[in-house]
Chain A
């Protein structure tokens, strides 16, 4: 009787081991109807990114929510913030940036870019035809957008010292004025801008005026039919009031603050620099500091 019980236990253990080996190793459960949340992390990040860009086109928040359903909120926040930063760096059109910021803010992301573009002009979601099925099968209408104009900042290659006597035409505006202007010579011409405002600082009995950087300010650069858009503060490691533009050689640019209309803050010519080394073409770059009028 005792031997029978021992053999039963032995058989039980062997059978259990064999059963587990078969079900876990040889023939495990296969999932063919997986969900986005179960995908590998890089695929999940791409899913979130595509959801954001689709929302930027469609403007359908309910659909975006359905697509992101089940994903960790923190992961969604991080990816959405990163997608917005990338879109800003690539110079995507303003409505796209606003929608990306709106979606990121909806999921609780709080970054400078989110605050800037969400506050700029929120774009209400466009109404879409209702979907018949409860599944997130998309039926939305994609919105056509023009190809963005690149505004990425090229790596500076300073090859000459600043030249004296800049002679651009500068027309002061009621709101902003150019307080400093420096001419540089670079292979890839740029416009480097720092926007500030004067504040009065009192320390003890001493009162002095300081220039404080202004982040979150929209700048526009119009050159012929080409319009570029930038926002100050996207590169806080340089200066919270800093923004820059890549500009075309042999062109004239009008700089505007807030909106590309009215009288420009400055009109700048991008001309060839006089140079000793004739092998490499150098062009005028301008470094400006703007100050808001009190």
Chain B
């Protein structure tokens, strides 16, 4: 009886130590993450940079390929969501102009984006 208790106690302590080490002290480290794993604000920054890069270099396919890294199923969804959110602000920031132009180039512009599309590119 005592022996069984000892075994069970050892198992419990061992499991506890394992959880502590595996989740707390030395958790699995991910060094090769993808843009989809980025923090939300960095993801939005990523979309902005895709649009700005498109305005310098052109290349719809390259822009789509980059957006696909955020949403493989519907690559334009994050672009549309961010552009519409910025367009619905009381005073749409000029930064949404590049986003709206990329959306226009990819044929996914929506009426909500109109204020951004009307913003002049300086």
Contacts and interface: CB of A to CB of B under 8 A. Distances in A.
B82 to A, nearest CB: 10
Contacts of B69: 43
A167 interface: no
A11 B7 contact: yes
Given A5-B6, A24-B22, A18 B14 contact: yes
A262 B13 CA distance: 86
A67 B21 contact: no
B28 A12 contact: no
Contacts of A124: none
Interface residues of A, number: 61
The residue among A41, A47, A54 with the most chain B CB atoms within 10 A of its own CB is A54
B48 A138 contact: yes
A125 interface: no
Interface of B is mostly: helix
A140 B96 CA distance: 9
Given A38-B31, A142-B95, A143-B122, A22 B18 contact: yes
A248 B49 CA distance: 34
Contacts of A133: 41
Given A4-B3, A16-B17, A54-B52, A38 B45 contact: no
A95 B64 CA distance: 27
Given A4-B3, A138-B95, A142-B94, 10 more contacts: A11-B12, A19-B14, A23-B27, A29-B27, A47-B35, A53-B53, A57-B55, A137-B45, A138-B49, A141-B97
15 contacts: A4-B2, A4-B5, A7-B7, A16-B17, A16-B18, A19-B14, A19-B19, A24-B28, A29-B28, A34-B42, A38-B37, A39-B37, A136-B45, A141-B94, A142-B121
The 10 closest A-B pairs by CB, nearest first: A19-B18, A15-B14, A23-B22, A11-B10, A144-B121, A135-B41, A141-B94, A28-B28, A50-B49, A138-B48
